[in-house]
Amino acid sequence: MPVHATLTGATIPASQLGTGTANSTTFLRGDNTWATPAGGGGGSVTITATTVTVPYGSREYTATVTDVAVTGTSKVILVPGMYSDTNMNDPTDADMFVSSVGTGSFLVKLLAKNRETIGGTFNLNYMLG
């Protein structure tokens, strides 16, 4: 007969959750086995911060972001919710996306939403994949 228990404020040691080694590079699978993700696990992500200055009254603007780590095959990922306009414009009034990637730089395009205009200095955070 199975034993049932009620846990209140208790912590179950990872070693009791499954078989294998529980550490920062493994995850617990549905079959209660600790396993390393297919990509290897345990990696780190570097988020780079920069600023993009957009002239006031712009409906769209393309900015060049220079980064020596960027190659023609880099995947540039804008970090959602991590950019803002320091001049009190609502950053949600603009869509931001990467329009092209080259060696040493990439282009970020900003498009105003809802027939609005944008302008100011935007803080932009991104990571390379």
Does residue 59 sit in the same domain as residue 111?
Answer: yes
80 and 66 housed in the same domain: yes
Q: Give the number of domains in the chain.
A: 2
Same domain? For 31 and 57 the reply is no
Whether 78 and 23 share a structural domain = no
Give percent of the chain above pLDDT 90. 3
pLDDT band at 20 (very low <50, low <70, confident <90, very high): confident
pLDDT on residue 31: 87
**pLDDT tens digits, residue range 57-105?**
888 889 899 988 888 888 888 875 544 444 444 545 677 888 888 899 9
Looking at residue 93, its pLDDT comes to 64
Handedness of CA 40, 71, 68, 58 (dihedral sign): negative
What pLDDT, on a 0 to 100 scale, did the predictor assign at position 25? 78
Q: Which residue has the tokens 């994949």?
A: 129
> What backbone phi and psi angles, to 5 degrees, belong to 14?
-55, -35
DSSP, res 117? -
Structure tokens at 79: 């970090």
Q: Sign of torsion, CA 124 126 103 98?
A: negative
| Domain range enclosing 3 | 1-43
| pLDDT > 70? residue 4 | no
Q: Which residues contact 120 (CB under 8 A, 6 or more apart)?
A: 53, 54, 56, 85, 86, 87, 88, 89
User: Is residue 108 domain-shared with residue 53, that is, in the same domain?
Assistant: yes
Query: Is the same domain home to 78 and 21?
Result: no
Residues 37 and 86 in one domain: no
Residue 95: other Cβ atoms inside 10 A: 12
pTM over 0.85: no
Q: Name the average pLDDT for the chain.
A: 77
